[in-house]
Amino acid sequence: MYLCIIMKKQLTKKSKTDLIESKLKEPIKVGDRVDCSIPYIKKTTEGKGKKAKTIEIPSVSYHSGIVKEIINHPKHGIVYDIETFSTSIPYDIELPSEDFNKSTNKLFKAEWVRQNTDDCGANPFKPEVRIDFMAQDISQLLMRSGYGRRSDNFNTPEYNTCSNNPSDRGLQGCTYGGANFNPYITDAYGLKVYYQRPFVWTLEQKQLLIHSIYNGIEIGKFIFRDKSWKEVETQMKETGHGFNYDCVDGKQRIHAILEFVQNKFADEHGNYWKDLSEHSQRHFLGYRNLAIGQLREDSKDSDVIATFLTLNFTGTPMSKEHITFVQSIKL
């Protein structure tokens, strides 16, 4: 029975050619992506002086863009107002903007326009999650996490305290800043689901990370989700502290680095942070063989889960049970 269903799907699957033909037959609507091909005669001059002559060369001006308006004009017929960032329409054939009371020359005759077929055919790719990456160093990574040199040598977080400003009513004494290493998403039932693992790295794994930094080895990407001020305020009212970021990936590595500069363990040579020279400490904090990525404020919980499941780094791999748990979250 299952095999029959698969074979039926294969038989009913349309070819790329069929999909293109079907798409080209669809009427063009506002919001559609379209292609434009404008045939025109390009005039150029050959030769010099008395031997110079003007010749005409058949040419085509290509454009693509989004249909913003469809105009049924009494003189020009169906005309499409298209938002396009390509070159302008050849001057000698462009439609006069004064006929349309528009200050644009992106007006296209119906015979120039057809549906864009770039999306016709198989597409095995999942929707891409937009992550903005920045080249920063370890000191900036720790500051984003809420820790810096001013915070009692990285031992206490550097949080901001809400003022007594009337606009901060109900937030006096609350703090904000840093990153939340136990973030949650809201599932389809409106429940909070915490998707991060607890701290699981061994001493050997932490020392290996410090070894990598000493030897200029890339230590991977660190992903944070930017929180809007409204979300920060809500969290302050609920718990007394609002985090500026959620740590989506890098929790184990960040805390290994943080614990090292807090003198909680020694490196493979037996040196604690306090034993390193000032030069070595500056070198460590200025280490840049890493990347910090940021999911924007408008990112969805589904973007967070997709990012979390896609990224793989060295260390203790996620157990099959934990991956299954995260995949099972209904959004």
Per DSSP, the residues of 257-276 read: HHHHHTTSS--TTS--GGGS
Please indicate, yes or no, if residue 5 is contained in any of the structural domains. Answer: no
Which amino acid type is present at position 308? Answer: F
Per-residue pLDDT at 265? 97
Instruction: Measure the CA–CA gap between 259 and 270, rounded to whole angstroms.
Output: 15
Q: How far is CA 324 from CA 96, 233, 318, 327, 328, in A?
A: 61, 33, 10, 5, 6
**Do 108 and 168 belong together in one domain?**
no
Are 217 and 190 in contact, with CB atoms under 8 Å apart? no
Domain boundary residue among 66, 101, 122? 122
**Do 162 and 188 belong together in one domain?**
yes
Please indicate, yes or no, if residue 3 is contained in any of the structural domains. Answer: no
**Do 64 and 151 belong together in one domain?**
no
Per-residue pLDDT at 308? 76
**Do 269 and 210 belong together in one domain?**
yes
Instruction: Measure the CA–CA gap between 128 and 327, rounded to whole angstroms.
Output: 18
Are 248 and 224 in contact, with CB atoms under 8 Å apart? yes
Q: pLDDT 10s digit of each residue in the chain, 331 long?
A: 555 544 555 556 789 999 999 999 999 999 999 999 988 888 888 878 777 888 888 889 888 999 999 999 988 899 999 888 776 777 777 787 777 776 665 888 999 999 999 999 988 877 777 788 888 999 999 999 999 866 577 888 989 888 766 566 678 889 999 999 999 888 888 888 888 889 999 999 999 999 999 999 999 999 999 999 999 999 999 999 999 999 999 999 999 999 999 999 999 999 999 999 999 999 999 999 999 998 888 888 888 887 777 764 444 455 566 657 666 766 6
Per-residue pLDDT at 106? 80
Per-residue pLDDT at 202? 95
Residue-number span of the structural domain to which 185 is assigned = 131-327
Per-residue pLDDT at 6? 47
Please indicate, yes or no, if residue 20 is contained in any of the structural domains. Answer: no
**Do 109 and 147 belong together in one domain?**
no
Please indicate, yes or no, if residue 136 is contained in any of the structural domains. Answer: yes
Per-residue pLDDT at 272? 97
Domain boundary residue among 61, 95, 122? 122
Please indicate, yes or no, if residue 16 is contained in any of the structural domains. Answer: no
**Do 184 and 310 belong together in one domain?**
yes
Per-residue pLDDT at 11? 52
Structure tokens at 212: 């990598």
**Do 62 and 173 belong together in one domain?**
no
Domain boundary residue among 122, 145, 167? 122
Which amino acid type is present at position 246? Answer: D
**Do 164 and 242 belong together in one domain?**
yes
Q: How far is CA 224 from CA 28, 220, 266, 307, in A?
A: 41, 13, 28, 10
Query: Per the structure, how many domains does the chain have?
Result: 2
**Do 112 and 199 belong together in one domain?**
no
Please indicate, yes or no, if residue 19 is contained in any of the structural domains. Answer: no
**Do 180 and 62 belong together in one domain?**
no
Please indicate, yes or no, if residue 12 is contained in any of the structural domains. Answer: no
* pTM (global) more than 0.85: no
**Do 233 and 283 belong together in one domain?**
yes
Which phi and psi (to 5°) does residue 156 adopt?
A: -125, 145
**Do 92 and 213 belong together in one domain?**
no
